[in-house]
Structure 1
Amino acid sequence: MAAKEKSGNGFVETIKTIVYALLIAGVFRTLFFQPFWIPSGSMKETLLIGDFLFVNKMVYGYSYASCPSLILPRFGVNVDAEDICGVFDGDNTRLFGGTPKHGDVVVFRHPVSGRDYIKRLIGLPGDTVQVKNGVVILNGEPLPQEPAGTFSEPMLRQGPQGLVPRCENGPVGEGGTCTKSRFTETMPNGVSYTVLNMANQGSDNTNVYQVPEGHYFFMGDNRDNSADSRIAQLAGGVGFVPYENLIGRADRIMFSSAGRSMLFFWTWRGDRFFKGIY
């Protein structure tokens, strides 16, 4: 009898430990840092497919979007942040709200699909933004772009989705070297970062956008391979992003894998561990 009681108590204690661990992890992810795995190449070369980072959620404060989502299609799991904290949605405000700055790399909730996106903050509320021949015109002034050589990567399928990079020197056969023109772009506040461009396409020439109050304008650093605020939401882009949809700022890459799985240790990028994001 004592053995059965001991066994039963042990099972209960194990369940308690698991529940406590999940609660602690949920609180940590909601209030402090959220893990984020880079799934696409829209932020190359700042962020590569397979980079793993933690998003600082304290810097902008909290809204309904701060609640974690758990989406695992393979297992039929689809728990959205709005399902948990949707009661706080709709007023476009934040608790302990911080002020985003030009050039921040931000994870935010897509206004329509609800999926998490990561892009660079280009336009603040009240700003005007236009793109002409690939150059961003912010409040009537072009952002300086200095040539910075070329960005090179192997023509191989990348990440779990097996995405193939687009190349300026294409078509490139599998295993060849794919290149794009690289530029250093500088914001009025002095923040500099690298952008890639490879062709003159529709998104390189836009109308003038006036960023509404309480909203933000985002672009990917890989300018010709990014569905961002230059494209309307109904056309598959991001459009203007409400303040309450911001999740946090990406500050540092913790780990990076160039392979189809993070378990393929021979594809780990040792030079990107704990690398700062600028």
Structure 2
Amino acid sequence: MAITESPQESPHVTDTSAPEKPHKVDWLAEIRGLALMLLAVLAFHSLVAKPFYIPSTSMMPTLWVGDRLVVSKYPYGWSWASASFHLLPRGDWRVWPSTPEYGDIVIPVHPTRDEDYIKRVVALPGDTIEVRGGQIILNGQAIKREVVPPVRIPFEPDLICRGAPCLDAFDQYRVNGADGREYYEPPTWRETLPNGATYLTIDYRDQRLDNYGPYTVPDNAVFVMGDNRDESADSRAEAIESGLGGAVPLANIGGRAEFITFSLDGSTTWNPVSWFSSLRPERAWTTLRPPLAEESAAQ
């Protein structure tokens, strides 16, 4: 008798698990993470270092319009001026205070406006400073000041001058270079301060601020000037004239300029090619700490 096997029936399996729910974004955690990141950046900019852009000609020839540089926040301690965006109320307190040295390039804040300047320290607390015919006199002694060959600054009127008065002032010193480009070659001087710090300045005309003082710098303050002596609103100029109105309290100094990171000549457009062609490669990583006179002579 033949035995016929009946095929086994496959058991029917039913999936009783719940469908997987779509992942929900924890927006509170995302916002908290973003806030912490922003606070970290703000703390770094306020306590350690921040970038700085040069918008004017007041520190030429040391700094050109279009330079980007790093400002360190800790060399003189911290104060209300250290905080980015000037978020803290003004005051005369300082934490771990220190005094700038002759020749340092610092970031003073205007006495009444929350506006950052960039200038060079030329007199320290207790010094008596005069300016006579453009010559700095410290404590009765004229600092060393000598004529040197003119600096050469590229002719970039749209970027450097941003207006007819500046262009007119420099126009008499415009020359044609052997490379076919135009340059400014204004009268240039080398100054040397009592500690040996040496740097170049531009002084090409007689004007009111060429004569100033005598003025005694108060305690916990410094006297600052721009390297472009005829185009700088600094300690020599009144606050209502956009100047700094005398010596700058140390609590009003937000940091020290250290070095140039990169520089753009103003020809940058939407075209990515211009992002590279507008670079001034020779200015990148230039230190802004003034050399001492013996170091400069050895170079």
Give the shorter-chain TM-score range: 0.7 to 0.9
1:252 aligns with 2:241: no
CA distance in 1, matches of 2:174, 2:67: 24
- Mapped partners of 2:244, 2:278: distance in 1: 32
Q: Which residue of 2 aligns with 1:269?
A: 280
DSSP 3-state at the match of 1:60: coil
Secondary structure at the aligned position of 1:185 is classed as strand
Q: Equivalent residue for 2:50? A: 34
Alpha-carbon distance in structure 1 between the residues aligned to 2:159 and 2:259: 20
Equivalent-residue separation in structure 2 for 1:236 and 1:7 (angstroms): 54
Q: Contact 2:175–2:182 at 8 Å: present in 1 too?
A: yes
Separation of aligned partners in 2, 1:61 and 1:173: 45
TM-score normalised over the length of structure 1: 0.85
Q: Would you say 1:190 and 2:196 are equivalent positions? A: yes
Task: Determine if the alignment matches structure 1 residue 8 to structure 2 residue 10.
Answer: no
- Does structure 1 residue 213 correspond to structure 2 residue 219? yes
Partner of 1:147: 147
Match of 1:62 among 53, 68, 78: 78
2:88 equivalent to 1:85: yes
RMSD of the TM alignment (CA)? 2.4
Q: 1:159 deviation in Å? A: 3.5
Contact residue 256 and residue 272 of structure 1 kept, 8 A:
yes
- Deviations along 1:109-167, whole A, 9 cap, x unmatched? 11111200000001111111111111111111111112221123343324398355464
Q: For each residue in 1:72-105, what CA deviation from the matched residue of structure 2 results, as whole angstroms up to 9, or x when unmatched?
A: xxxxxxxxx1xx321xx33x23101112111110
Q: Does 1:101 align with 2:101?
A: yes
Unaligned stretches of 5+ residues in structure 1: 70-80
Following superposition of structure 1 onto structure 2, how do residues 95-134 of structure 1 map, counting pairs within 5 Å?
95-134=95-134
Q: Distance in 1 between matches of 2:93 and 2:282?
A: 39
Do the aligned partners of 1:93 and 1:243 also contact (CA within 8 Å) in 2? no
3-state SS in 2 of match to 1:27:
helix
Q: Distance in 2 between matches of 1:250 and 1:221?
A: 14
What one-letter code is carried by the residue in structure 1 that aligns with 2:195? N
Per-residue CA deviation, residues 252-275 of structure 1 (Å, 9 max, x unaligned), is 111111115597431111011111
CA separation of 1:158 and 1:253: change in aligned 2, threshold 3 A: farther
Distance (whole Å) between structure 1 residues aligned to residue 168 and residue 82 of structure 2: 33
Q: 1:2 to 1:182 in 2, by over 3 A?
A: farther
Change (3 A) 1:47 1:160: closer
Query: What CA distance in whole angstroms lies between the structure 1 residues aligned with 2:20 and 2:135?
Result: 76
Match of 1:47 in 2: 63
1:168–1:181 CA contact under 8 A, matched in 2: no
Secondary structure (helix, strand or coil) at the match of 2:25 reads helix
Which amino acid counterpart does residue 82 of structure 2 have in structure 1? S
SS at match of 1:251: strand
Map of 1:76 onto structure 2: none
Task: Give the greater-gyration-radius structure (CA).
Answer: 2
Counting matched residue pairs gives 260
Report if the CA contact (8 A) 2:145-2:192 is conserved: yes
Provide the rounded CA distance (Å) in 2 between the counterparts of 1:169 and 1:272: 24
Q: Whose strand fraction is larger, Structure 1's or Structure 2's?
A: 1
In the alignment, the residues of structure 1 paired with residue 59 and residue 69 of structure 2 have an alpha-carbon distance, to the nearest angstrom, of 13
Question: Please, which moves more after superposition, 159-168 or 194-203?
Answer: 159-168
Q: Are the structure 2 counterparts of residues 18 and 129 from structure 1 closer, same or farther at C-alpha, using a change threshold of 3 Å?
A: same
Q: Secondary structure at the match of 2:70?
A: strand
- From the superposition, tell whether residues 251 and 260 of structure 1 become closer, same or farther in structure 2 (CA, over 3 Å): same
Q: Percent identity?
A: 35
Q: In 2 relative to 1, CA 95–256 (structure 1 residues): closer, same or farther, beyond 3 Å?
A: same
